[in-house]
Structure 1
Amino acid sequence: MNQSVLIQCADQARDVDDTRVNPSDNRHLNQVSHARRRVLKGGLGLLAGPFAASTLLSACASREGAPAAFRDSPRPAIGFKPVPVASDPGYDRVDVPEGYTARPFFSWGDPVESGAPEWRPDAQNTWTEQALQSGQNHDGMHFFPFPDAPNERGLLVINHEYINATIHPDGPTVTEDEQGRRVRPLNEVRKEQAGHGLSIIELRKDPRGDWQRVYPSRYNRRLTAYTPMTLSGPCAGAEAMKTADDPQGREVLGTLNNCSMGVTPWGTYLIAEENWKNYFVNRDAADHARRREHHRYGIAAGLNSHYNYWESADPRFDATPRAEQPHGGHVNEPNRFGWVVEVDPFDPDSRPVKRTAFGRIVREGCTCVQHPDGILAFYSGDDTRGEYVYKFVPEGRFDADNPKANRDLLDKGTVYVAVYHEDGTGEWRPLVWGAPGLTETDGFRDQADVLINLRSAADAVGATPMDRPEWTAVNPFTRDGYVTLTNNTDRGVDPNEPVDAANPRPENHHGQILRWREDNRHPAATAFHWELFLLAGEQPPTDESWQTDHQYGTIKGDIFASPDGLWFDPEGRLWIQTDFSDGKSVYDAMGTNQMLCADPVTREVRCFLTGPSGCEITGITATPDGTAMWINVQHPGISYPASDGKTRPRSTTVLITKNDGGVIGT
């Protein structure tokens, strides 16, 4: 059979990932067909202006305590000359502005743990060797400095989201059994599982001032799709978390589809498990239909999982109920993914912990904001068309003077989901068992049931469906939150997804960035004000014809499409990374995927970096002084980083420095 159907390329996988599974008809912006008219007739530029100039958001200025505009953050210096769009289909490098250097730093297959062999360009490394090497498809990451040398030594923690067919010498091996089910060899599945997870590597500046990987190092560590992890919080031990292999419901093997991430004030790393749903199948159609923890998340209901077909070699990915086995066999295994996973990078002997108080979604990131009073909030998007934006507020307070008191801070708290009103106000609705819509009468047995079925709980309280919520970021000076809404071509086409004020364009190919400010700028607030920071897309022409074309945006500066990665540096520059399908005609003007830098006050955008054809630019972190930055080139399409046109391409972490030793972006 055609092996290309197995491990799907980024575009194919995205088609699966983006299928709407939200059955609700939540429309909270006053059925805003008139909002679309206001956008199209008044000009999209209205949405990018300050509150005082926006008819859409003018109500915000009059509400007591509401900001007149998001103009009170310090102006960050952005001094580089933008790089041009990379439109050559054979483009196979990374370009950065004049005065900067970008070099490949850490690629798929590089040694991580002691005893790891070198990467083989023919992909003949075994699965046990892959478990000691860097995984594939680098994504979210963070630099953890050592306190005694914060700008000279640190640990780089890197997510490995999924795998490509390149992990095998000639692609994956797939056969079919008598029933038409696709079958995989166990050794290939194990190698793919080893290619997932996380890498932790030690870095150090050498005497010349150049950053190098430290190998071997006691801190270097790999997590995979079969690393033992502990379940904690309200869902640990719940009946819906128990399986034949784990009758106590307290230990999980592995973490899957690790996309964006978060960091705690006490120095731990938070993995966000994104498209874990694609690894499971429930072949019992009737059971799948009545089991919301399966169908509401898009788990496959046919003969095979959506991709990889691990269920043929590893039974725990076959979530078909087995009455003859304890706890239905592995029917509950999907419930054990979709969580926030906390990892202590400085303790290589520690066991990762899945914190179930956050709730289970197709999670994109977990960005922390801290108030001076010690109250924290963590923001996440649920990256599927028509899904929601969430916030988790721990019950306790962060205590910087007592690190041990923060150890289990993430096991108790409240999850909220966002509702965006047309007048620029918003509210966080709590997802707490017993509240209206979340009672036993409504089909929720207890708080664990609410958290395992968090999407259904958000449906029940009337959350606002969004255009694929991706990364979140928080301005370090104002505590304003930002979220990328990367695209949604079903918006305005699917009757369940009408355009609205927060998602104002039909057939939204290019996406938008939304920002909000909590009331009193407090993380625990249940009300906020919001606006569209920008609409991505092409620059509109000067005549009036553009008002009826939804492909044009409101960008002041260099254009881009499908914003994805998002990060604030310590000086307040907003960095934006893109993930669109270069090669599709609707994106011709954009070239390859990019990283851009934006001024949060003026909204000026400059292109800082362009990547190889076929890649996504994702993941970003830097040293505390901002003189070294790392970003990821995921699934390059030709031969990067060798860039010789023939070597097997490798996802790669890239180191960026300024030639004069200065701060990146200035």
Structure 2
Amino acid sequence: MSQKPLTSPDFQSILAVRLSRRSTLKGLGLSGAAAVLSGCAGTMAASGRGQGMSASSTLTFKELPHALDAHFTVAQGYNAQVLVSWGDPLFADAPRFDPANQTEQHQLRQFGYNNDFIGFVPLPMGSDSSEHGLLVVNHEYCRSGMMFPGSPDELQLSEEQIKVNIAAHGLSVVEIKKHSSGQWQLVLDSAYNRRITPNTPMQMTGPAAGSQRLHSQYSTDGVKTRGTYGNCAGGVTPWGTILTGEENVDNFFGGDFSQSGEVENYQRFGMQEVFHTSWGLLDKRWDMRENPSEPLHVGWVVEIDPYDPHSVPKKRTTLGRYKHEGANVFINRDGRVVAYSGDDQQFEYLYRFISKERYQPDNRKANLSLLDEGTLYCARFADNGSMQWLPLVFGQGPLTTENGFQSQADVLLDCRKAADLLGATPMDRPEDVEVNPVTGQVYVMLTNNSRRTEAQTDGPNPRAKNLAGQVLELTPPQGDHSADSFSWDLLLVAGRKGDAGTHYHANISDNGWLACPDNCAFDNLGNLWIATDGAEAFGVADGVWATEVTGENRALTKRFLRTPMGAELCGPFFTPDAQNFFCSVQHPGDGSSYDNPKTRWPDFRDDMPPRPSVMVITKQGGGRIGS
């Protein structure tokens, strides 16, 4: 079916509602959070100044041009350092990376593959240091054809290669320090350094812990569990822990589950009988016929204390089981913790959690259990710019025994089904969700949805066959994130400049357009930095764009950096002083092979394959990133 034209009555009526609401907000003195969309021009209305960004802009870096090549490139006036790459030693006694002689034991002491989310917490704990801290990085999945000589298929790995593949997943925790030269270095003899893998002992907590449905061959009590994998984005809590989201975990399982008692759940989650990786061929843990409860142990948000290398990671079941892109925490004005998360799949939902207890700034021990009690909500949007948060509570509304729920544990284990019944709004792949530290508004990255039809379009998801995604802005009333109703707006609708359906600031440059927003971060001025995954399908490299979200430069996006070909850009994260910007380059050279890669970044050596890596960006001469 053809894409709905921009001039269609339905789309125009949605924009008309947006214009009306923004006028009301302006009258209330909130115009900075409510810039106006031009009805048909495909860009936001200009402020009346000349072309380009206004003199009052806080983003004055020289914009980087679009391109697609083998290199990582950052805007003029900035330095880009490769901080750590797949296979690099994380401990003083760890071996150097040798791609031709990989072993499980080596990989367990080395940085994992496909780095995604990045979290930085300062050292010492409780300080605001921007030059010394702990870096925590997710390792989402592997591309075996890019990891091993001969480019083997995922189902044709040797036993040792499967073990290496498993060991390369999970997370890495490593102490880092900035030296007087301006270069960052790993502290390899640090007691904090740690690898967390699919085999690390963990614990289920919250209402689903102990559920009979979680009893498995390994977990006879439904409480103890093992490992984390499929880790996409995450978040850093105000009490200094890391939240990591388990996303596409269905890809790790196979086997006939028709007799498991979980057929409806597994089908809803995307499980298939066919194996996509070799894990289940090596270990029956990932064979659903042999171990039918194991898939219920993943799909959660895991909380990790990086300051305690001996701590047991906790799977916080209160946040629900689905394909978590991540989870980001905000302390509401009443002291309760609010965590936002997206379910990263086409037509899935946006969620919010509110804790029962309140954050205590001087009681870290009490804060460590804040995510164990509270209420989970899913979001329902209306085209008039309003939205409601619907509680997922057993016994309320349709979440009853008549619909198959016997307890709150069932609601959380069958979170997608519960949200279906409540009438949550199916979204265009909700990924990263972050709160602006300056305005308190919430921003949702909606990456794309090629399956949406014209009949399925709505206010926050206005395009059929949406290939480029959009950025959604949520405003809590009077800054109260516990309110049942918010208002919403479209900050921008992504895609090539001038394409039907796209919406940016009127003065956007030829290099300012972006596609497929994925992760995001805010600097300490409240500027939004957007990382993309999918721009290469539009002929340009993925990377990072920055924009102001209030005032006359709202939605005037500028490209800041580019990835090597085949890569996506993940995990943007600022140090507290906003003078160091971390980011992940994931799967460089994707779509090629170990033996004949599109790029050999970052080493550019004939004996080295392309390696996923963490970058740190600093301004030449020092100063705030973006200025």
Does 2:489 correspond to 1:527?
A: no
Identity %: 38
CA offset at residue 204 of structure 1? 1.1
Give the equivalent residue in structure 2 for 1:592.
541
Contact 2:215-2:221 within 8 A present in 1 as well: yes
- Distance of aligned partners of 1:65 and 1:226 in 2 relative to their CA distance in 1, 3 Å threshold: farther
Determine the C-alpha separation between the residues in 1 that align with 2:176 and 2:584: 16
Give the equivalent residue in structure 2 for 1:92.
70
Structure-to-structure mapping, 1:492-571, within 5 angstroms: 492=453, 498-540=456-498, 549-550=500-501, 552-554=502-504, 556=506, 557=508, 558-571=512-525
Determine the C-alpha separation between the residues in 2 that align with 1:434 and 1:67: 42
Contact 1:35-1:500 within 8 A present in 2 as well: no
Does 2:151 correspond to 1:171?
A: yes
Tell me whether 105-114 or 343-352 shows the greater mean CA deviation: 105-114
Structure-to-structure mapping, 1:270-419, within 5 angstroms: 270-285=243-258, 291-300=263-272, 302=273, 304-305=274-275, 307-320=276-289, 330-419=291-380
- Distance of aligned partners of 1:312 and 1:426 in 2 relative to their CA distance in 1, 3 Å threshold: same
Give the equivalent residue in structure 1 for 2:120.
143
- Distance of aligned partners of 1:519 and 1:35 in 2 relative to their CA distance in 1, 3 Å threshold: farther
CA offset at residue 186 of structure 1? 3.2
Structure-to-structure mapping, 1:229-240, within 5 angstroms: 229-240=202-213
Give the equivalent residue in structure 1 for 2:409.
448
TM, length-normalised to structure 1: 0.84
Determine the C-alpha separation between the residues in 1 that align with 2:28 and 2:392: 25
Contact 1:594-1:617 within 8 A present in 2 as well: yes
Determine the C-alpha separation between the residues in 2 that align with 1:113 and 1:239: 40
> Deviations for 1:271-318, whole angstroms, at most 9, x for unmatched residues?
111111111124144658x62221110011x3x22x213111111111
Determine the C-alpha separation between the residues in 2 that align with 1:400 and 1:153: 22
Contact 1:538-1:553 within 8 A present in 2 as well: no
CA offset at residue 353 of structure 1? 0.7
Determine the C-alpha separation between the residues in 2 that align with 1:433 and 1:481: 27
AA matched with 2:8? R
Contact 1:76-1:573 within 8 A present in 2 as well: no
- Distance of aligned partners of 1:128 and 1:85 in 2 relative to their CA distance in 1, 3 Å threshold: same
Determine the C-alpha separation between the residues in 2 that align with 1:96 and 1:213: 22
CA offset at residue 256 of structure 1? 0.9
Determine the C-alpha separation between the residues in 2 that align with 1:96 and 1:183: 38
AA matched with 1:317? W
2:179 to 206, 210, 231: 206
Determine the C-alpha separation between the residues in 2 that align with 1:438 and 1:210: 54
- Distance of aligned partners of 1:284 and 1:477 in 2 relative to their CA distance in 1, 3 Å threshold: closer
- Give unpaired runs (5+ residues) of structure 2: 36-55, 590-598
AA matched with 2:542? N
> Deviations for 1:569-599, whole angstroms, at most 9, x for unmatched residues?
12211000110062x4xx12xx111101011
CA offset at residue 187 of structure 1? 2.2
AA matched with 1:554? Y
Does 2:134 correspond to 1:155?
A: yes
Contact 1:58-1:423 within 8 A present in 2 as well: no
Determine the C-alpha separation between the residues in 2 that align with 1:282 and 1:118: 37
Give the equivalent residue in structure 1 for 2:20.
58
**Cα-Cα RMSD:** 2.4
- Distance of aligned partners of 1:315 and 1:421 in 2 relative to their CA distance in 1, 3 Å threshold: same
- Distance of aligned partners of 1:202 and 1:63 in 2 relative to their CA distance in 1, 3 Å threshold: closer
TM, length-normalised to structure 2: 0.89
> Deviations for 1:122-179, whole angstroms, at most 9, x for unmatched residues?
3x220111011000111111111114571221111111111112232323367xxxxx
Contact 1:379-1:392 within 8 A present in 2 as well: yes
> Deviations for 1:596-619, whole angstroms, at most 9, x for unmatched residues?
101111221110001100000111
Partner-residue secondary structure (3-state), 2:418 = helix
CA offset at residue 354 of structure 1? 0.6
Determine the C-alpha separation between the residues in 1 that align with 2:566 and 2:606: 14
Contact 2:353-2:377 within 8 A present in 1 as well: yes
Contact 1:578-1:595 within 8 A present in 2 as well: yes
1:187 to 137, 160, 167: 160
Determine the C-alpha separation between the residues in 2 that align with 1:67 and 1:55: 19
Give the equivalent residue in structure 2 for 1:248.
221
Contact 2:516-2:535 within 8 A present in 1 as well: no
Contact 2:217-2:291 within 8 A present in 1 as well: yes
Structure-to-structure mapping, 1:78-157, within 5 angstroms: 78-87=59-68, 91-122=69-100, 124-147=101-124, 150-157=129-136
AA matched with 1:103? Q
Contact 2:504-2:555 within 8 A present in 1 as well: no
Q: How many residues align?
A: 585
Determine the C-alpha separation between the residues in 1 that align with 2:103 and 2:191: 23
Contact 1:139-1:161 within 8 A present in 2 as well: yes
Determine the C-alpha separation between the residues in 1 that align with 2:156 and 2:493: 44
Contact 2:520-2:529 within 8 A present in 1 as well: yes
Determine the C-alpha separation between the residues in 2 that align with 1:657 and 1:34: 43
Give the equivalent residue in structure 1 for 2:528.
574
Give the equivalent residue in structure 1 for 2:575.
623
CA offset at residue 439 of structure 1? 0.6
Determine the C-alpha separation between the residues in 1 that align with 2:57 and 2:232: 28
